[in-house]
Amino acid sequence: MSEEPRQSEPGDEEFREMLRQFLAGGGQGGDLDPAKLAAAAGLPADPELLNRLIGQLQQALQNSADGVDWNVGLEQATQLATRSSVVSTPGERSALEQALHVAALWLDEATEISSLTTAPALLSRTEWTKQTMPVWTQLAAPVADSIATALTQVLDDEGVGDAPGMEGVAQSAGRIMRNVGGTLFAMQLGQVVGRLSTEVVSGGDVGIPLLDGETTQAALVTQNVHEFGRDLDIPDDQVALYLAVRELAHARLFRHAKWLRLNLLTQIGDFSRGVRIDTERLQELAADFDPSNPEELRDAMTSGALIPPKSAEQEAALHRLETMLALIEGWVDVVTLQATARLPRADALAETMRRRRATGGPAESAFSTLVGLELRPRRLREAAAMWQAVTDAVGSAGRDALWAHPDILPGSQDIDDPSFLVTRLTGGLGEQEDDVDRALEELLGDEGGDRPTE
């Protein structure tokens, strides 16, 4: 059912016309260079993209809804990914399919976690962008909402609606600025995701499950897998096998530990909801804004300057998130190392991947400044050492059983010093299961009266 057209408020059209002239480079914004506006949105100086940018911002002026149009971000990301995308040859796809088949067999020997029920996918950069964008927008939405709210607050602080008869103008201006601000943010996110499509090699490359859906699926980005090994002086088949093992291990873990994906995204949400925008800095930008130099606005959004230092609650949430990411990546490292023991250059590939995950690529850095959230496991090496110690002590079965429930998963202290964890587990898997049984009895036994004694 379509919504009723919204009635224009007093001064509504005047405010819209002022912004239209600004976007078109006329009127009060006559000295605005459209190419600079495109640069402020992170777009190359391309006439086609520039016209689309102007159209999207003007559409935001007309939008009577209150919210971020994430389709703008998807369009930006898809265009950027498509421009650099190269169609893989049948031979390249066949080689990766064979690598995934062999990787699954090798993983069966390294972990007790069962194989996937959905066949792995081979994606182009464009396909990866389209399939992962829903998760990226889920991560970025709280920050976009904070920016939109801050823009409205700046207008309120300036007293736009205090004058008699100007209440409608203030309300209209607040809604329009929220839409325009949200559109600019969505464009920036689209640029980040589009650039990420040129860096990632798989669905779980950034540590979180990006392929949205009920069924966990592994995926390789064919073009990027080939480019990953271009300068490594390692045979292509070894690179493909190593990356296939890592991706399948990551996907298997999330399919096995069904609680893990929700737990991880909840922790990210706990952090993101605490993001607040520095309205004083935003007011300074508004007061000093130079239409001929819109890069200042872009720099403020992409440098993290609008996001103040983290609160104590955010620091705690970030610590929990970093610990979980380190546990996931450390487990994947150890299982991959065990599964790829046959590869002559497995150690070199493992070290390359660890350095890559520790530093992140340019697009990942852009996402962290845009949203204020880093997805890099800071203690990856320590977590991997802990999982190796557990494997040496109780084997693959005992190690993998720790993912059965979040309450028995190792924590930050175990990463710091795994000796106590190893001591607790050296009695074997049976003792660990007894610990879980006793914990369940303590939770449920009181409701039924006395618990049976052993």
Annotate 176-240 with DSSP letters as a single string. Answer: HHHHHHHHHHHHHHHHHHHHHTTT--BTTTTSS--S-SSS---EEEHHHHHHHTTTTTS-HHHHH
28 near 21, Cβ under 8 Å?
yes
Tell me: pLDDT of 152 over 80: no
pLDDT tens profile 298-354 = 566 555 666 666 778 878 888 888 899 999 999 999 999 999 999 999 999 998 988
| 108-123 average pLDDT score | 93
Tell me: pLDDT of 257 over 90: yes
269/411: higher pLDDT: 411
Q: Residue 451 is encoded by which pair of tokens? A: 């618990």
For the ranges 87-91, 215-219, 272-276, which has the lowest average pLDDT?
272-276
372/160: higher pLDDT: 372
437/99: higher pLDDT: 99
3-state helix/strand/coil string of 379-435: CHHHHHHHHHHHHHHHHHHHHHHHHCCHHHCCCHHHHHCCHHHHHHHCCCHHHHHHH
- Look at residue 166 in the predicted model and tell me its pLDDT: 44
Please report how the helices 362-371 and 295-302 are oriented relative to each other, as an axis angle in degrees rounded to 10.
90
Total-model pTM: 0.76
- Look at residue 224 in the predicted model and tell me its pLDDT: 95
Tell me: pLDDT of 26 over 50: no
pLDDT tens profile 351-394 = 898 888 877 776 677 777 777 777 777 788 999 999 999 999 99
Name every residue whose Cβ is closer than 8 Å to that of residue 232 and which is 6 or more positions away in sequence. Answer: 239, 348, 349, 352
Burial of 310 by CB count in 10 Å (0-12 exposed, 13-18 middle, 19+ buried)?
Answer: middle
| 239-262 average pLDDT score | 94
CA atoms of 416 and 410, how far apart (whole Å): 11
Name every residue whose Cβ is closer than 8 Å to that of residue 385 and which is 6 or more positions away in sequence. Answer: 330, 418
Q: Which whole-number Å values give the CA distances from 257 to 250, 253, 264, 268, 435, in the listed order?
A: 11, 6, 11, 18, 19
Burial 195-205 (b: 16+ CB within 10 A, else e): bbbbbbbbbbb
Q: What angle do CA 195, 49, 294 make, to 5 degrees?
A: 85
Taken in order 259, 263, 264, 266, the sign of the CA dihedral is positive
Tell me: pLDDT of 396 over 80: yes
- Look at residue 237 in the predicted model and tell me its pLDDT: 94
For the ranges 60-74, 137-151, 203-217, which has the lowest average pLDDT?
60-74
| 66-91 average pLDDT score | 86
- Look at residue 433 in the predicted model and tell me its pLDDT: 53
Residue of 216, 201, 206 whose CA lies nearest to 268? 206
Model confidence band, residue 93 (pLDDT cutoffs 50, 70, 90)? very high
- Look at residue 449 in the predicted model and tell me its pLDDT: 47
Burial of 61 by CB count in 10 Å (0-12 exposed, 13-18 middle, 19+ buried)?
Answer: middle
- Look at residue 131 in the predicted model and tell me its pLDDT: 93
For the ranges 62-76, 81-95, 127-141, 320-334, which has the lowest average pLDDT?
62-76
Q: Residue 231 is encoded by which pair of tokens? A: 């300068």
Tell me: pLDDT of 230 over 90: no
Tell me: pLDDT of 34 over 90: no
Proportion of the chain above pLDDT 90, given as a percent: 36
Mean pLDDT of the chain: 77
Tell me: pLDDT of 9 over 90: no
- Look at residue 120 in the predicted model and tell me its pLDDT: 93
- Look at residue 209 in the predicted model and tell me its pLDDT: 84
Tell me: pLDDT of 217 over 50: yes
Most confident of 69-83, 163-177, 281-295, 438-452: 69-83
Proportion of the chain above pLDDT 70, given as a percent: 62
- Look at residue 56 in the predicted model and tell me its pLDDT: 61
Tell me: pLDDT of 424 over 70: yes
For the ranges 272-281, 405-414, 417-426, which has the lowest average pLDDT?
272-281
For the ranges 58-62, 102-106, 131-135, 416-420, which has the lowest average pLDDT?
58-62
Name every residue whose Cβ is closer than 8 Å to that of residue 83 and which is 6 or more positions away in sequence. Answer: none
Model confidence band, residue 25 (pLDDT cutoffs 50, 70, 90)? very low
The SS3 of residue 121 is strand
19/256: higher pLDDT: 256
- Look at residue 77 in the predicted model and tell me its pLDDT: 92
- Look at residue 84 in the predicted model and tell me its pLDDT: 87
- Look at residue 308 in the predicted model and tell me its pLDDT: 65
For the ranges 98-112, 184-198, 271-285, 431-445, which has the lowest average pLDDT?
431-445
- Look at residue 246 in the predicted model and tell me its pLDDT: 96
| 265-289 average pLDDT score | 70
